[in-house]
Amino acid sequence: MLGLRIMFELDQVCFRAGQRTLLAPLTLALRAGQITGLLGHNGSGKSTLLKLLARQQSAHSGTVRFAQRPLDAWPARAFARQVAYLPQHPPLTDGLRVHELVAMGRYPWHGALGRFSADDRQHVEQAIERTGLTALRQASVNQLSGGERQRAWLAMLLAQNSRFLLLDEPTSALDVAHQLQVLELIRQLCDERELGVVIVLHDINLASRICDDIIALRHGQLVFQGSPRELLQPQQLTQLYGVPMQTLPAPGYALPLAYIE
């Protein structure tokens, strides 16, 4: 992983809300071509960090860079061609069909008044096909199942053709089967397109299944960055979650499973 290109760099980044410090001075690097999982308890700063990376919020101090340029030096459309963001609670899709939602991913390339080109249509159709939504392309997004809806949002990000995906709890409202389906799709897309992905997750066992690197926050501070195997140690897990935790072997799986002791 050390050979992968660094895309995001944070240098002593701090974010506050009123008198509360949501992110303490934070310095880290995020690389292309791998999935980085963001873990931590509620209120640990995961979503705040993702919003800073997505330019949805601005740091109160420190610098965030993408491709060696400060975020505020990127024009909006140029940045959207590089980085796609899926918030924890996506906007309403009333009246939209699947292909219309996916087509919105092409906005950074043609603009609000630009013509929708053959190249745009090709990216939309490829994204719909790659996420297994061809049979549902005319369906109303609101009538999809939870797993189908998440795949539709992922298709929109794919149509955006960005180099980096920022995903805030994309599996939070899904059952276990659909969680695995969505996460495995993200893993496949990362490998096929050499995407950089940062994904907020709550389940350490699911994160260890798909992530190459794990960043763990606690009270806005970085408490761990390393591989899933390095994190899946009782002492590390206990420090992260603040409760006694252990691991046990998982037959047929390379990594152990974590559980509360």
133-185 residue pLDDT tens: 999 999 999 999 989 999 999 999 999 999 999 999 998 878 888 888 899 99
Is the pLDDT score of 2 beyond 60?
A: no
Is the pLDDT score of 212 beyond 80?
A: yes
Compare 261 and 4 and report the one with higher pLDDT: 261
How crowded is the C-beta side of 227, counted as CA atoms within 13 Å?
5
Strand stretches in the chain, DSSP E: 6-17, 20-31, 35-39, 61-66, 69-70, 83-86, 164-168, 196-200, 213-218, 221-226, 245-248, 257-260
The pLDDT score that the predictor gives to residue 3 is 55
Is the pLDDT score of 94 beyond 90?
A: no
Is the pLDDT score of 6 beyond 60?
A: yes
Is the pLDDT score of 199 beyond 50?
A: yes
- CATH numbers and ranges of domains, the chain: 1-82+162-230 (3.40.50.300)
Count of all residues that appear for the chain in the document = 261
Question: By mean pLDDT, which of 82-86, 210-214, 257-261 is the weakest?
Answer: 257-261
11-55 residue pLDDT tens: 999 999 888 999 999 999 999 999 999 999 888 999 999 999 999
